[in-house]
Structure 1
């Protein structure tokens, strides 16, 4: 089914207008001031261990929690002036909590197994995306009008990780109101990619991706409604999992979700090492953990594998970079050689309309007919809604409190592209049926994470719709794990999305372990 000629013309005109406006924004944007600098390599061996390994060493008293927490504090203090990823720390409180952990272990009489069962992450440091409530920490999500807002409670998945023994070190930067692929706002500034400081770390969980990729954290937590876990993990060379929706609680996040958005957002783990994904998800799922088959042993040789090399040539997205096409082909070759399976290349014409599908479903009302809260209202809270055109004028005069991306999203909301389309709904329903039939309970799909590797700062403003490669998976409600696949010739991370059927999260997590072993996983950006 094709979009009508008039709608195609509207898309083209809007795309041209966005490109022109954002080109001007780019010219008005200051430089990062860190061009040419590199992160120092890690020197403390504790920073090269997974959270699972650290927890085991802490339980066995081979290393103290204080030592581990201090190692990560030292690393954050070393790299954060370059990355601007951690926007508020709680180092003093974290060291006190680590000392309490060490005391608890000294006094424990039940043995290591009891501690592992009750407190699987005991003494391990954790970073938290600032959009999650973390008691005593800011929760402004880059909005100047929320400056000074401090959380009084923990978001449920944060509370569960803390209850499992994890120690939060601080909160990390996001895009303004978590609705853009670059973590930049006028409250906390711009976050940088650990592999190239002139490039973006992604968004909205870009602070998490950046500090994880820079070895300033080992595990973190993010939320994903259009790729906000997967894009930062891809750009920053780490692992991230978008859980089957409805498993991990999305409560106590800002901004709140409205309309039908709760159906498409997923909270999930982000980490440097694949073996930490499964234990983190077990914890974060809380009472709904039994809806997933996380204890099921996966035999990859018995799975069915599929690959989609690109979206079919969307007029909204740019062609997939040759490095990414090649690395996905290498994954296919290794799967076939190592496992003796046949990876089938498939194509879905509906994927060309990934952006239109995403924006249509994000704008649908809930089951009571209430539409989602307008983005312009969120931009103005706790006051009146902003006028995007007025903010655009103020931006040209250097007077707006809002980023170019946020203003652009406000303008997009006013355009015909943001209005629900019956033809697009039909496209999505057809794609949903075909994808679910393809994957079943034993299918795994490879799909590009993005059309290109980490872009330069502000360059996504020229290509605002490339996130469709991740966003369409949200609307389909499928679990997906972002996996790093080494570096290209420029030293920038490569990667791929691994998708499975609903509630089959254990399949993509098993694939993450395989791909880490096969392609090397995370690489120290300071060593490249």
Structure 2
């Protein structure tokens, strides 16, 4: 990483760590009043940690660079963390008013690992209330705005993270994803995001954490502006779990079996895919075929039409021990008395609720109804989900990659998700299938909004999607600085 390898003046480095941190702090102070991505900073502590890095580099022996880089691969690199993760000394509310005074006493597992690798946290970033909506807005910190168009959403629930990275206010970031919460913000903000294979990166130290079957669907992963940073981040965040992946295997792009699916088949719950997104996906296919000399196979997987229903059913199902999914209304009460959605909606209408409208209406009300209806109808959908998982694993095998839209539309305007609340199904389905997915930016639309694509591989084949993301970044330009298009 540039910031990690060019710090410290003591051994001929052109830029000190303090200068790098000061540049990012200044950038945050310039941009954040408009975007509200970073909701609590630790700038003074970060600068002190940067001074310690400069001291370490100045005092170290001249031949210690290689060993230092291996031991501390992110030495001095600014990082931001989704507020749902514990970062010592920082708030950990997940946008819940009843947790307004909760301050993390320790670090989440992945945060600790990044800090041990030398990264310097700048602060925490905004998310949706309880991380269960795809617009990052809550009653604790307010709303986050898209740096490409302040009237647009940043996505959720890792929306503040996507925003901060896109606006060049941080280098790397920590996100989590149970229905697309890494990939949607990465798509809407034109950056890279990776949902690892399930069970590789620890989820410990975030609120709310998954229970029951949802522990198999929640994934913690890296977000960044440059594709080359995904793999080193994944190595550090996974720790010993990285042994399950094949990151040291050399990838020959010409030997990958590429598949392409333009849309989900026409779900009645989801918007049609935008024309520009389809056109860009077609360009990707044409580029792969012409430059790599391969044939991209078009596929139509019928069960993908039921992505939302499958995700919802599997999210509400019992695990192997018979443990039921925790009700969203219980989480809103923060382990106290559960919230009554209808009463909370009445309070909201008269301005007395401490919750956002999406948390009350489409989430709490709908989730409560779905769980009650689930006992009979869901068994069939869960079975369909398992059948789809087997079908996808057979299709992808050890050397396949699927090209699939990241979302049906480019970043919507604020509040628009309320009209089409299930569009997140394009990302959510891969959580319940347990597959690794990389969101790759592909330049900007005619409106100046980010375009992108999901790259999907079979379980534990994260190395394939990461390699394709690096290739597409070179071919299509990757991240574009807001305002510079």
TM-score where L is the length of structure 1: 0.89
Aligned to 1:430: 387
What's the offset of the Cα at 1:218? 1.3
Distance (Å, rounded) in 2 between the aligned partners of 1:328 and 1:225: 25
Distance (Å, rounded) in 1 between the aligned partners of 2:388 and 2:241: 27
Is 1:55 matched with 2:7? no
Is 1:396 matched with 2:352? no
Aligned to 1:71: 23
Aligned to 2:409: 452
Counterpart pick for 2:286 among 308, 326, 333: 333
What's the offset of the Cα at 1:181? 0.3
Name the stretch that deviates more: 360-369 or 169-178. 360-369
Give 3-state SS (helix, strand or coil) of 2:358's partner. helix
What's the offset of the Cα at 1:63? 1.1
Aligned to 1:122: 75
Aligned to 2:442: 485
Counterpart pick for 2:239 among 286, 301, 306: 286
Structure 1 pair 233/180, CA: closer, same or farther in 2 (3 Å)? same
Aligned to 1:236: 189
How far does the alpha carbon of each residue in 1:169-192 deviate from its partner, in whole angstroms, 9 at most, with x for none? 000000000000000001100001
Structure 2: tracts of 5 or more residues without a match? none
How far does the alpha carbon of each residue in 1:112-142 deviate from its partner, in whole angstroms, 9 at most, with x for none? 1011111011011000000000000000000
Aligned to 1:90: 42
Q: What does 1:294-373 correspond to in 2, within 5 Å?
A: 294-373=247-326
Distance (Å, rounded) in 1 between the aligned partners of 2:368 and 2:466: 39
Aligned to 1:273: 226
Distance (Å, rounded) in 2 between the aligned partners of 1:214 and 1:160: 25
Give 3-state SS (helix, strand or coil) of 2:212's partner. coil
Distance (Å, rounded) in 2 between the aligned partners of 1:313 and 1:219: 36
Is the 2:328–2:368 Cα contact (8 Å) retained in structure 1? no
TM-score where L is the length of structure 2: 0.97
Counterpart pick for 2:364 among 384, 404, 410: 410
Name the stretch that deviates more: 82-91 or 101-110. 101-110
Give 3-state SS (helix, strand or coil) of 2:176's partner. strand
Aligned to 2:374: 419
Is the 1:145–1:382 Cα contact (8 Å) retained in structure 2? no
Aligned to 2:149: 196
Q: What does 1:97-108 correspond to in 2, within 5 Å?
A: 97-108=49-60
Distance (Å, rounded) in 2 between the aligned partners of 1:285 and 1:124: 18
How far does the alpha carbon of each residue in 1:271-326 deviate from its partner, in whole angstroms, 9 at most, with x for none? 00111001100111101111111111111011100000000000110110101011
Give 3-state SS (helix, strand or coil) of 1:269's partner. strand
What's the offset of the Cα at 1:367? 2.2
What's the offset of the Cα at 1:366? 2.3
Aligned to 2:176: 223
What's the offset of the Cα at 1:382? 4.6
How far does the alpha carbon of each residue in 1:344-388 deviate from its partner, in whole angstroms, 9 at most, with x for none? 000111011100111111111222211121110110125311100
Is the 1:66–1:99 Cα contact (8 Å) retained in structure 2? yes
Distance (Å, rounded) in 2 between the aligned partners of 1:377 and 1:266: 22
What's the offset of the Cα at 1:426? 2.3
Give 3-state SS (helix, strand or coil) of 2:86's partner. coil
Distance (Å, rounded) in 2 between the aligned partners of 1:151 and 1:54: 27
Give 3-state SS (helix, strand or coil) of 1:100's partner. helix
Give 3-state SS (helix, strand or coil) of 1:512's partner. helix
Is the 2:4–2:73 Cα contact (8 Å) retained in structure 1? yes
Distance (Å, rounded) in 2 between the aligned partners of 1:413 and 1:220: 30
How far does the alpha carbon of each residue in 1:36-86 deviate from its partner, in whole angstroms, 9 at most, with x for none? xxxxxxxxxxxxxxxx11111126622111011110000000000000010
Counterpart pick for 1:440 among 357, 381, 397: 397
Give 3-state SS (helix, strand or coil) of 1:357's partner. helix
Distance (Å, rounded) in 1 between the aligned partners of 2:388 and 2:213: 19
Counterpart pick for 1:502 among 459, 466, 471: 459
Q: What does 1:367-382 correspond to in 2, within 5 Å?
A: 367-382=320-335
Aligned to 1:31: none
Distance (Å, rounded) in 1 between the aligned partners of 2:217 and 2:242: 19
Distance (Å, rounded) in 1 between the aligned partners of 2:443 and 2:427: 20
Q: How many residue pairs were aligned?
A: 477
Structure 1: tracts of 5 or more residues without a match? 1-51
What's the offset of the Cα at 1:414? 2.3
Give 3-state SS (helix, strand or coil) of 1:285's partner. helix
Distance (Å, rounded) in 2 between the aligned partners of 1:56 and 1:301: 32
Moved segments of 4+, more than 6 Å: none
Distance (Å, rounded) in 2 between the aligned partners of 1:56 and 1:189: 36
Is 1:468 matched with 2:430? no
How far does the alpha carbon of each residue in 1:137-160 deviate from its partner, in whole angstroms, 9 at most, with x for none? 000000000001000111111101
